[in-house]
Structure 1
């Protein structure tokens, strides 16, 4: 099976926006990655429109068409009647000429097929056998009914879409060997033409957005062809098909049926709910999944709805409109539909409650039903989890609460004071240690200017220079607290983080140790000085005694020497 919408895994940012936009919840989310559930999808294209990361892409068939042209096939283009809204031109010939330059052999408006479809609708209305009739020109509506409202299948008009009708008519008229390429605003057409009943009718589908890119790549400017002469200045009233009420404009409404036009999937689903549940009879309902009609198709990236609407009106109303053009319909336009109901397994209440408890929803009041996960209620999300369509932890309030809880545990468990300041140096957050260290439990720091409490120029310096100041010893006299302080600038958040390690006790211990050392040195110095004085006094005393002894001994020696000389 070819997936019409593909996801780029690297781009999915877990925002769940695509799930919120999906009317039938056909997007599963597992292992941090969204995936289209092909069997559930009705290809409305909402997820393409809302994805902020461009994580989804459409299967592009331009290469396939180029291959047909390169191989010299006769390639016929069937172009949807909403083309004036996409290409800003009420000159069909200009676009046709551009397509011929790309290599198309023949171009015709799908309005020709719409003409044939409208005639089939008139036959159904005239017969009056159906309780209610829902138009089947929109493949998204058909998928919606077959998959989610099978009881309403009996109301689907058993008629092919204008695209299929036109393809049948082209191949009947020009031969089965031609290649028919549908060009339009609708993503779902890429799936419709691969339906088993439509094999070999349409050979490729190109969206308006893809055609614009192709023309751009080839350097083809539509303005080059705007002044060309238009051979046939007539169009069909079926050119109104892409706007709300357009189908109703093309049929004879003289019957007992009541005629209603419904657009947008929400309105379509509400209408189908009423048809299935209520006792509603005698309605012919033009139903279009796109709000505003095909001019607002998922692959028709135009500037604004009102401009697109005006472009189609100008194109059709400025022509010689004819609903009686000589068009031969020699093909079978009947269509059958089947039950393709998508069924979810609904677990019992006990199982649902056990799933909810895993994400902190223990009682009814815990179920916020905020819709952030993409599901309208917590119970609906729990059922999706049970069916492996959703991740248990897709609950944003729960994950935020959990993250904040863990963050608070970490920050408030830190023995260091932690402050967060904004760019104006006002305190945004303060942990428990900040109050404890500075003994200010009875005060509230949050919302106050940091200088009201902490007189340190580093905060302003870091803000102005955007450079961190790390591991500075700061003493706050006001609190008689000494800290080892780091001031960190967060450029991403334009915030300043202050981390203060209380080293007051260590500093006081160090101060006491230094005092003891100083006193010890002083005492030692005094002892040394005293000892020096004693030594000097002793030395002085010894010096005098020695001198006297020397004198006495010298005298004694001299006496003895003298006496010895006399004795001789």
Structure 2
């Protein structure tokens, strides 16, 4: 069941663009529906951004926020907040006017950074929920590399619960936070959602204390590293890059801090962040806001920041025989036919076959399978049609269907070519074949790019013979009627003379009857 990424079935055109770009292939196509498989999804939002039909969207919670307006509540604003809005300080004033206490998530980031520094081994940052889900679901063997520390948002929720007894709201650029922060915040909304109700008619206002300091750099590339004192560090951004990195990550002697972000450019490039301004503009806005914001000293809060990570990988094993059976059913009877073209969305034909077994995909998603299927049906129709079909190229016959082969069995291709080369389109042509005369309704047309000419001959000999028989029968019938009428006329004249009546009226009736029969 879809919970965070929602599919609009009416809009989906089966272009498979979402599947081709989904880093974990958590999209299912079946029975004319495209749905996101929630338990496999890492909520990166790629399918929403990439869909040309707007067939994907995410769960919205703005209505829950609006219910809080007019009462006291607390809003945790992600540090990328200052890169997204044109007037972020007016947005803060708008929230405060509607009853909010506004605090920065960056405060939680500072506590998380201190925990990172305690590690004496290579660790991966856990601020990005997409990264955490990716490792738990698809690289569980790398879980030990994850720093067993909560994200800045979770840390901030723990701090806010120490300070306030009001509903908590998280505001950020990330859809994955909606899943990660369940149980920590009462409402999780994105910048996009807030923009729907934001009113700029306010003066500027600052967030409420306590204030963070360096944690405000978290949403830009290298921002987490800037908060720690690791000598050896590396930044990996983008889910595909992270997958490649993890597939080759092994135990190393040196101690490294690995900053990971699902979004290239950091959180300021989150799926629900502005797409109309550049990365440079966003970074510039953030740095200007940091200079303007009050700086604080880290207040001590007694909060537990530890977190455990568990494998969520669910993998069903299929035998080689089962996979091979699906491949054969798609026309891939040997390795040479496994093109691995990725047109269906899967990287290899083997992956596609497994998806079919998992009921995530349909065989018809394979473009080469569809082409072969359509071609085979077309070939069957051409071969089995009762019409004679002949294809020529450069004055030579290159194909005859079954009926044409039988009809022209005793004729050479040269003789057949002589018979058809002068026929006209949509005409009735008469031909002598094996001493018998046939009449054909003909069609001829050129194939694209001068690749040949097609002649279609529909045998209408029987129909014409039947029509001629009917004409003869009608003629004989009319002649017989006329003979009977003449006899009746003579009889009528005799009777009329005996009775002394006029024959004129009777004659006119017989003439009308004869005319009717002729028509």
Q: Smaller-chain TM-score range?
A: 0.7 to 0.9
2:232 is aligned, of 232, 243, 258, to 258
Separation of aligned partners in 2, 1:371 and 1:203: 41
* Equivalent in the alignment of 1:75: 73
How far apart are 1:202 and its partner, in Å? 0.8
How far apart are 1:49 and its partner, in Å? 1.9
Q: Does 1:377 align with 2:348?
A: yes
CA contact (8 A) 2:92 2:206 kept: no
Q: Spell out, residue by residue over 1:224-264, the C-alpha distance to the aligned partner (whole angstroms, 9 max, x if none).
A: 44xx456689984433322221212233x3x5x41111100
1:93 is aligned, of 89, 103, 108, to 89
How far apart are 1:190 and its partner, in Å? 0.4
* Equivalent in the alignment of 1:241: 218
How far apart are 1:137 and its partner, in Å? 0.7
Matches of residues 88-167 of structure 1 in structure 2 within 5 Å?
89=86, 91-101=87-97, 103-122=98-117, 124=118, 128-129=119-120, 131-167=121-157
* Equivalent in the alignment of 1:539: none
How far apart are 1:384 and its partner, in Å? 2.7
Separation of aligned partners in 2, 1:37 and 1:109: 33
* Equivalent in the alignment of 1:179: 167
How far apart are 1:504 and its partner, in Å? 5.8
How far apart are 1:455 and its partner, in Å? 6.6
How far apart are 1:136 and its partner, in Å? 0.9
Q: Does 1:340 align with 2:311?
A: yes
Matches of residues 299-338 of structure 1 in structure 2 within 5 Å?
299-304=272-277, 307-317=278-288, 319-320=290-291, 325-338=296-309
Matches of residues 157-236 of structure 1 in structure 2 within 5 Å?
157-173=147-163, 175-176=164-165, 178-194=166-182, 199=183, 201-215=184-198, 220=199, 222=200, 224-225=201-202, 228=203, 236=213
* Equivalent in the alignment of 2:257: 284
How far apart are 1:290 and its partner, in Å? 1.4
Separation of aligned partners in 1, 2:470 and 2:30: 64
Question: What SS does structure 1 have at the residue aligned with 2:197?
Answer: helix
* Equivalent in the alignment of 1:493: none
Separation of aligned partners in 2, 1:286 and 1:352: 38
**Structure 1: where are the runs of 5+ without partners?**
420-429, 446-451, 457-472, 488-497, 529-568
Deviates further, 355-364 or 110-119: 110-119
Q: Spell out, residue by residue over 1:177-213, the C-alpha distance to the aligned partner (whole angstroms, 9 max, x if none).
A: x11111111111000012xxxx3x3111101222223
**Structure 2: where are the runs of 5+ without partners?**
391-398, 433-437, 446-453, 484-519
CA contact (8 A) 2:112 2:150 kept: yes
Separation of aligned partners in 2, 1:344 and 1:17: 24
Q: Spell out, residue by residue over 1:460-518, the C-alpha distance to the aligned partner (whole angstroms, 9 max, x if none).
A: xxxxxxxxxxxxx745799997638899xxxxxxxxxx997736636874897799899
Separation of aligned partners in 2, 1:239 and 1:454: 83
How far apart are 1:265 and its partner, in Å? 0.7
Greater C-alpha Rg: 1
* Equivalent in the alignment of 2:8: 8
Matches of residues 532-543 of structure 1 in structure 2 within 5 Å?
none
Separation of aligned partners in 2, 1:54 and 1:453: 55
Q: Does 1:502 align with 2:485?
A: no
Separation of aligned partners in 2, 1:77 and 1:190: 15
Deviates further, 504-513 or 179-188: 504-513
* Equivalent in the alignment of 2:441: 483
Q: Taking structure 1 as reference, are residues 386 and 510 closer, same or farther at Cα in structure 2, changes over 3 Å only?
A: closer
Q: Taking structure 1 as reference, are residues 110 and 440 closer, same or farther at Cα in structure 2, changes over 3 Å only?
A: farther
CA contact (8 A) 1:76 1:105 kept: yes
CA contact (8 A) 1:237 1:321 kept: no
Q: Spell out, residue by residue over 1:303-351, the C-alpha distance to the aligned partner (whole angstroms, 9 max, x if none).
A: 25xx144223233146537896224141425121222231322223223
Q: Spell out, residue by residue over 1:99-144, the C-alpha distance to the aligned partner (whole angstroms, 9 max, x if none).
A: 345x24222332232233223333x2xxx52x21111110111111
Q: Spell out, residue by residue over 1:389-443, the C-alpha distance to the aligned partner (whole angstroms, 9 max, x if none).
A: 3334432311221023213322453334899xxxxxxxxxx99599999999789
CA contact (8 A) 1:274 1:280 kept: no
Question: What SS does structure 2 have at the residue aligned with 1:320?
Answer: helix
Question: What SS does structure 1 have at the residue aligned with 2:170?
Answer: strand
CA contact (8 A) 2:17 2:345 kept: yes
CA contact (8 A) 2:4 2:58 kept: yes
Q: Taking structure 1 as reference, are residues 56 and 434 closer, same or farther at Cα in structure 2, changes over 3 Å only?
A: farther
Separation of aligned partners in 1, 2:412 and 2:170: 75
Separation of aligned partners in 2, 1:42 and 1:454: 65
Question: What SS does structure 2 have at the residue aligned with 1:10?
Answer: coil
Separation of aligned partners in 2, 1:51 and 1:21: 10
Separation of aligned partners in 2, 1:477 and 1:280: 90
Q: Taking structure 1 as reference, are residues 301 and 517 closer, same or farther at Cα in structure 2, changes over 3 Å only?
A: same
Question: What SS does structure 2 have at the residue aligned with 1:160?
Answer: coil
* Equivalent in the alignment of 2:269: 296
